[in-house]
């Protein structure tokens, strides 16, 4: 039986099984099996775990962040790209106008956000319908996903669910944090031990038994599992499988010019959603204008502007350094490594003005987290400190060399002995 048939069989069995306390354990086991098979299928399809490079869609990463436009055909993705960026992507009233990945750059608050227009996807995309696999591989590479929906389409809620499901299937988790669970494999026996710092109500009456069964599905028989929050079976499976991508996702209900104001009101209440019309420029303006969509994207990407200044000069307000909370973080360390590796090496401390500082300026170390619009002056080590550092590094290197030489010598001696 192929992987696909096995998946279908398990899905059918899960649908048949009533959800209650008595079946909890059985359902949990089935879920773990299903997740394993789906993962196998995905790895197989993307060429042996190569990360799903997405043939034909090899668009180089560019700018401070990357956003992928995901949606059904003809919802207005290309119209949106042409509105947000200086790139023109062909738009038309027929489905599948776009057949490849079209990159554009959105300039906003001094940052450059790469926006990727993509072909529309349909149900079954994750398993290869249309160019779905490639589209979803691009979604995996993005820092945030913008799901575009046609507010006037029938079955709108179902569309939202299908898109979420397609992304879920390949291990993308939308607007979720990685669960606070660690699975540490042990060398010695003793089976699977489960501990939790909080009561677990979602893992059935015998959490340890279920956890053991789920881990067994992934051939883990001895491990310590520690949960620091209440978790679901799906979350545990995610941790065990390991290759999950946690992404912020914003939903744009486009074409609200085609529905009633009551309907608009309903849609605007959906979580993580904004409503608008690309054609009418409602909530989605021109590249140079500030609008709700851009403001939300900025927020979901966790972008932060930091202005640097030199001693005795005003800050450079023209060109902020853009840091991303979800990529490399917004610490002083991220700022320095963003500028140069030399800067990171030479940093003594940073002087920080702005909302992240307790007083202005505050003297901060590498781990200090910066806020949007903070001003930072990097104070480098004195020449003497740098010399001391260098001496120390070279001493450490000499020490290491000496010892590895000794070890090599000992190894040679031993081999000589063995050879007789
Ligand atoms: N009424 C209305 N129509 C819109 C709006 N935005 C886009 N459209 C129309 O929707 C149609 C499809 O737009 P596209 O930008 O080609 O849609 P797409 O999602 O890129 O489509 P594919 O590339 O085929 O997947 C075009 O006729 C647009 O003019 C809007 O806000 N209101
Ligand atoms: K279209
Ligand atoms: Mg298009």
- Ligand 1 centre distance from Cα of residue 170 (Å): 27
> Which is nearest to 204 in space by CA: 22, 30, 35?
22
State whether the beta carbon of 120 lies less than 6 angstroms from ligand 1.
yes
What pairs with residue 107 in β-bridges?
112
Cα separation, 231 vs 236, in Å, equals 7
Directed axis angle between helix 207-217 and helix 24-45, to 10°? Answer: 20
Contact at 8 Å (CB) between 94 and 66? no
Contact at 8 Å (CB) between 193 and 225? yes
- Ligand 1 centre distance from Cα of residue 88 (Å): 13
**Peptide bond before residue 361 is cis, with ω within 30 degrees of 0:** yes
State whether the beta carbon of 96 lies less than 6 angstroms from ligand 1.
yes
For 73, residues 6+ apart whose C-beta sits below 8 A from its C-beta are: 95, 96, 97, 119, 120, 122
Among 68, 76, 121, the mutation site with the greatest number of ligand 1 atoms within 8 A of its Cβ is 76
Residue 389's pLDDT is 81
Q: What is the ipTM of this complex?
A: 0.99
For 99, 118, 136, 224, 372, the CA distances from 130, given in Å and listed in that order, are: 10, 12, 11, 43, 41
Contact at 8 Å (CB) between 253 and 267? yes
Residues in the chain: 420
| SS3 at position 85 | coil
Among 70, 74, 90, 159, the mutation site with the greatest number of ligand 1 atoms within 8 A of its Cβ is 74
Burial 195-224 (b: 16+ CB within 10 A, else e): ebeeebeebbeebbebbbbbbebbebeebe
State whether the beta carbon of 70 lies less than 6 angstroms from ligand 1.
no
Residue 56's pLDDT is 47
**Helix (H) or strand (E) segment spanning residue 353:** strand 347-353
Sign of CA dihedral 386, 388, 389, 395: positive
- Ligand 2 centre distance from Cα of residue 94 (Å): 5
State whether the beta carbon of 89 lies less than 6 angstroms from ligand 1.
no
DSSP 8-class letter at 368: P
- The shares of helix, strand and coil residues in the chain, as percent rounded to the nearest 5, are 40, 20, 40
Structural domains present in the chain:
3-45+179-243 (no CATH), 65-176+246-299 (3.40.50.300), 302-380 (3.10.20.30)
Show pLDDT as tens, one digit a residue, over the chain (420 residues).
Answer: 888 899 999 999 999 998 887 888 888 899 889 888 887 877 666 554 334 444 548 899 999 999 999 999 999 999 999 999 999 999 999 999 999 999 999 999 999 999 999 999 988 888 777 788 899 999 999 999 999 999 999 999 999 999 999 999 888 999 999 999 999 998 888 899 999 999 999 888 889 999 999 999 999 999 999 999 999 999 999 999 888 999 999 999 999 999 999 999 999 999 999 999 999 999 998 888 899 999 999 999 999 999 999 999 999 898 999 999 988 999 999 999 999 999 999 999 999 999 999 999 999 999 999 999 999 999 999 888 888 888 888 888 888 888 888 888 888 998 888 887
> Which is nearest to 139 in space by CA: 156, 115, 162?
115
Sign of CA dihedral 72, 75, 78, 81: negative
| SS3 at position 254 | strand
Sign of CA dihedral 281, 283, 285, 289: positive
DSSP 8-class letter at 370: P
């Amino acid at each position: 039986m192929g992987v696909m048939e096995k998946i279908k069989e398990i899905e059918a069995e899960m649908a048949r099984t009533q959800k209650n306390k008595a079946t909890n354990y059985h359902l949990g086991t089935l879920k773990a099996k299903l997740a394993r098979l789906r993962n196998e299928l995905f790895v197989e399809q993307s060429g042996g775990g190569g990360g799903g490079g997405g043939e034909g869609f090899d668009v180089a990463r560019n700018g401070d962040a990357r956003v992928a436009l995901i949606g059904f055909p003809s919802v207005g993705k290309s119209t949106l790209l042409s509105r947000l960026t200086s790139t023109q992507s062909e738009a038309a009233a027929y489905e599948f106008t776009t057949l490849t990945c079209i990159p554009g750059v959105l300039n906003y608050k001094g940052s450059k956000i790469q926006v990727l227009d993509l072909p529309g996807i349909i149900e079954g995309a994750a398993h290869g319908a249309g160019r779905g696999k490639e589209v979803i591989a691009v979604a995996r590479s993005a820092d945030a996903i913008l799901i575009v929906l046609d507010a006037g389409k029938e079955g709108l809620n179902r569309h939202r669910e299908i898109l979420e499901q397609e992304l879920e299937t390949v291990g993308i988790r939308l607007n979720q944090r990685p669960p606070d669970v660690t699975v540490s494999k042990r060398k010695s026996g003793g089976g699977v031990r489960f501990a939790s710092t909080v009561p677990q109500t979602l893992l059935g009456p015998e959490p340890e038994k279920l956890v053991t069964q789920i881990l067994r599905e992934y051939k883990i028989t001895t491990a310590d599992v520690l949960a620091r929050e209440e978790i679901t079976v799906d979350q545990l499976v995610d941790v065990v499988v390991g290759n999950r991508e946690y992404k912020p996702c914003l939903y744009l209900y486009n074409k609200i010019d085609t529905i009633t104001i009551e309907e608009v009101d309903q849609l605007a209440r959906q979580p993580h959603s904004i409503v608008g019309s690309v054609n009418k420029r409602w909530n989605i303006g021109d590249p140079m204008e500030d609008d709700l969509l851009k403001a939300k994207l900025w927020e979901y990407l966790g972008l932060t502007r930091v202005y640097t200044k030199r001693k005795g000069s005003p800050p450079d307000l023209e060109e902020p350094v853009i840091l991303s909370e979800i990529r490399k973080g917004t610490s002083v360390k991220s700022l320095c490594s963003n500028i140069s590796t030399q800067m990171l090496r030479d940093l003594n401390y940073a002087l920080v003005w702005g909302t992240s500082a307790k007083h202005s300026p505050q003297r901060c170390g590498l781990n200090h987290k910066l806020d949007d619009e903070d001003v930072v002056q990097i104070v480098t080590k004195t020449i003497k400190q740098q010399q001391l550092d260098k001496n120390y590094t070279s001493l450490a290197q000499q020490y290491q060399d000496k010892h590895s030489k000794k070890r090599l010598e000992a190894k040679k001696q031993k081999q000589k002995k063995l050879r007789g």
